[in-house]
Amino acid sequence: MSLPVMPTRILIVGGGGREHALAWKLAHEPGVNRVVVAPGSDGIATEPRVSVVPEADPFDAQGLVEIARGHSVELAVVGPEAALAAGVADALNRAGVPTFGPSRKAARIESSKAFCHEIALAAGVPMARGSAFTDLEPARRFAAQLADRGGGIVIKADGLAAGKGVFVCDDLSSAEDALRALLAPGSSEGVVIEERLFGREASLIVLADGHAALALPAARDHKRLADGDIGPNTGGMGAYSPVPDLADEVVEEIVGSIHLPALAELARRGSPFRGALYAGLMLTQDGPVLLEFNARFGDPETQVILPRLAGAIGPLLLASARGQLASAAVALGLSGRTATLPTTRSAAVGIVLASAGYPEGSRAGDGIDGLAEAADTPALLFHAGTQRDESGGFRTRGGRVLTVVGEGPDLAAARALAERAADAISFQGLQRRHDIAADVPQPVGIGR
């Protein structure tokens, strides 16, 4: 059996912390000559063998096809959900560029929460009880029924909302406020209302080629803005991997009961999913339950997952894009249809530094101090919302600004390093959490 092909020239679409981590990882893999990131960022451009195309529009499919052709790339990887929902992967594939990232149709598993519920129901995937609504009165009645059962209520805007369109409500009156805001005429496509689940969350991302799946190590995101899981939901304020309360055997079971049935259902409907299928899970007392599927790598999960991988990911992304993941996995000695990718025995902790005003609004243009000091530590710095200024330093560009990642033999050591490097960095209005990986459920069990 021949070994999977290594891509030598790769296009990454996007320009955030996740794309920086992907570019960093791929540019260090054997055989890779050039990674082009469109649009990328000034921070991403500092990586060796990486170039950026700042004028690129990540939603302009034709423009991206031209960039891919101009650089003769052998693989494209699409980072952001909005680019997938805009059909960027469809256009690149049509132009003959093998693309890791689902078609617009398959990406609806993320871009429509109602569609996600429909697929989960058809595939028998365990999910919170929920229903989709476009009108206020029936939505209110369903919320009242859930409130009568004594649990909390979760209201979700149906379209893409970068993790910010979800309202976890303790009582009916706050649920009604959220419904009125989201179902005001013209303000949203509709809502999904779910029963509130309790437990710890975990993100389990698989590489998928339409049918087969290979699991990346699990990670845990911290979605709320402030320490102690309070404040508004954000895109994610920090993450760690491994997840000690998610054993490898359980990971295999989850891929079998959640990812593979959903992949089969999408394929049955004529829209096979080729890309990163990300299950946001609640680990409830009754077992893992799906909160949402995302059609892409997580941010900031990717920043803590990729540094832990023991081998190259480029050949697996290319094999997924070509629908040949199962044979690639066998050739690499990874067994079965739901194998987990081998990791180093290390742990990684990532702390997000966000700009003033995030997530409601965000401020740009604040000078960033301490990057050189942070870079002097062994921590990794992934840029998200930064830009160079006239003096050669970096300023904030809004939103999430940086992810600082510490690696170590266990989560405590990784956390100490991430904290030290994050403490070195400052800018006006910096927002960050100080409790990422501070409260890990069990004594740290280390990877595989």
196, 153 in Cβ contact below 8 A?
A: yes
Does position 242 interact with ligand GLY (CB under 6 A)? The reply is no
Residue 197: name its binding partner from ligand GLY, ligand AMP, none (Cβ under 5 to 8 Å by kind): ligand AMP
Counting contacts by CB under 6 A, is residue 299 touching ligand GLY? yes
| Shorter beta-carbon distance to ligand AMP: residue 92 or 197 | 197
Q: Which is nearer to ligand GLY, 301 or 366 (CB)?
A: 301
Among 41, 99, 111, 233, indicate the residue that binds ligand AMP (CB under 6 A). Answer: 233
Dist CA 336 CA 212 (whole Å): 9
Query: Phi first, then psi: what are they for 340, rounded to 5°?
Result: -105, 140
* First vs last C-alpha separation in the chain: 26
DSSP conformation class of 299: T
The C-alpha atoms of residue 249 and residue 99 are separated, in whole angstroms, by: 30
Q: Which residues are CB-neighbours of 232 under 8 A, at least 6 positions away?
A: 164, 224, 225, 359, 360
Out of 14, 79, 163, 165, the residue judged to bind ligand GLY by CB under 6 A: 163
Indicate the SS3 state at residue 376. Answer: coil
Residue 299 sits in the site that holds ligand AMP (CB under 6 A) = no
Among 168, 213, 351, 352, binds ligand AMP (CB under 6 A): 168
Q: Indicate which of ligand GLY, ligand AMP, none lies near residue 301 (CB less than 5 to 8 Å, by partner kind).
A: ligand GLY
| Residues of span 87-146 touching ligand AMP by CB under 6 A | 128
Can residue 53 be called a binding residue for ligand AMP (CB under 6 A)? no
**262 phi and psi angles, rounded to 5 deg:** -65, -40
Please choose, out of 37-45, 66-74, 195-203, 357-365, the segment that lies near ligand AMP by the rule CB under 6 A: 195-203
Cis status, amide bond into 138, omega within 30 of 0: no
Q: Does 221 bind ligand GLY (CB under 6 A)?
A: yes
Helix axes 113-123, 260-268, angle to 10 degrees: 100
Q: Which positions ≥6 away from 446 have C-beta within 8 Å?
A: 242, 345, 346, 347, 409, 410
Secondary structure (DSSP) of 138-198: HHHHHHHHHHHTTS-EEEEESS--TT-SEEEESSHHHHHHHHHHHTSTTS-S-EEEEEPP-
Find the shortest distance in angstroms from Cβ 23 to ligand AMP. 26
223 binds ligand AMP (CB under 6 A): yes
CB of 388 to ligand AMP, least distance (A): 33
* Region of 83-91, 192-200, 265-273, 433-441 interacting with ligand AMP (CB under 6 A): 192-200
352 scored as a contact of ligand AMP (CB under 6 A):
no
Minimal distance in Å, beta carbon 113 to ligand AMP? 7
Question: Rounded to a whole number, what is the largest CA-CA distance in the chain?
Answer: 61
Stretch that binds ligand GLY, among 21-29, 62-70, 293-301, 430-438 (CB under 6 A): 293-301
Q: Which phi and psi angles does 333 have, rounded to 5°? A: 80, 15
Residue 102 or 298: which CB sits closer to ligand GLY?
298
Question: Nearest approach, Cβ of 200 to ligand AMP (angstroms)?
Answer: 10
Q: By CB under 6 A, name the one of 41, 112, 233, 294 that touches ligand GLY.
A: 294
Strand, helix or coil at 358? coil
Residue numbers at the binding site for ligand GLY (CB under 6 A): 163, 221, 235-236, 294, 298-299, 301
Residue numbers at the binding site for ligand AMP (CB under 6 A): 128, 154, 156, 163, 166, 168, 194, 196-197, 201, 223, 233, 280, 291-292
